Structure 1
Amino acid sequence: MEQPVARLRSVVLDCPDPGALAEFYARVAGGTPEPDDDWVVLNVPDGPRLSFQRATGYAPPEWPRADRNSQQFHVDFDAGPTWEDVDAAQEKVLALGARPLDLDDQNGKKDFRVYADPAGHPFCLCRIEHP
């Protein structure tokens, strides 16, 4: 394998209130937000660093829309190996201010549920079977 060009440092989310959004994700994934003016860093334990920056005129993505203001990317969280784990995680993220976008699994083939964080970014709680 070829040597990488660079190492991934952060995934950065634009938002109207970086401190509030960093606090939401800290409650979901762990870590302590480190504010610096219009920028907040969250070092997620055993995960990537998430950063949040204030964006004037921020407009949340619309899910699932490809024609305008589409999601562009989303964050997946491992909620555990059972649907009971996902149900428990769902209760917690909804209590923290997330809102459901797609909880429907009509065919029993999806292993995830889609939510919006308080700024409107989509994220998923995934059922991951661990070896």
Structure 2
Amino acid sequence: MQFEKPVIDCPDPRRLAAFYARLLRLQVLENAPDWVVLGREEGMRELAFQRVHPWVPPTWPDPEQPQQMHLDIRVDDVEAAEALALSLGARRAPGSPEVGYRVFLDPAGHPFCLVHGRSPVDDPRMGFDTTR
């Protein structure tokens, strides 16, 4: 068994995929009106978007319509990452303590966090110890 990728429901897969492709520097690997897959390179299907009807966005942090899911995105420079996210159509989410992270809403309303500071664990994908 192997984990493939998360799939995010949204009203416009191409629009939301374009946002994340630019934010995360990913490329479009599959592109259909109702289904888009992103990855760092061919064969790396890392994040997908599918159209759903009717679309009901999360209203985080309101528990009446919970966040459903969120992405944590580690960044070195949180100020630069925030500026990029906002320029691509994200908006800051209200009501978060934001210690070590900042919460945003993507163009479809999904929350995501820009996590900053030292990682508490080594990331084997990075090829070096991120805790030092």
Check whether TM > 0.5: yes
Structure 2 spans left out of the alignment, 5+ residues: 119-129
Looking at secondary structure, tell me which structure has more strand per residue: 1
Deviates more, 1:120-129 or 1:36-45: 36-45
2:99, 2:70 → 1: CA distance?
Answer: 16
Q: Which residue of 1 aligns with 2:9?
A: 14
CA deviation digits over 1:36-64, x for unaligned, max 9? Answer: 2310000146x871100011110110111
The alignment's TM-score, normalised by the length of structure 1, stands at 0.81
Partner-residue secondary structure (3-state), 1:94 = helix
Q: Which residue of 2 aligns with 1:76?
A: 72
The alignment's TM-score, normalised by the length of structure 2, stands at 0.80
Structure 1 spans left out of the alignment, 5+ residues: 1-5
Aligned residues: 117
2:45, 2:101 → 1: CA distance?
Answer: 20
In structure 2, which of residues 82, 95, 117 is the aligned counterpart of residue 90 of structure 1?
82
Percent identity for Structure 1 against Structure 2? 43
Matches within 5 A, 1:40-79: 40-44=36-40, 49-66=46-63, 68-79=64-75
2:67, 2:23 → 1: CA distance?
Answer: 20
CA contact (8 A) 2:105 2:111 kept: yes
Deviation at 1:69, TM superposition (A): 1.5
CA contact (8 A) 2:61 2:95 kept: no
| Matched residue type, 1:114 | V
CA contact (8 A) 1:26 1:44 kept: no
| Matched residue type, 2:116 | R
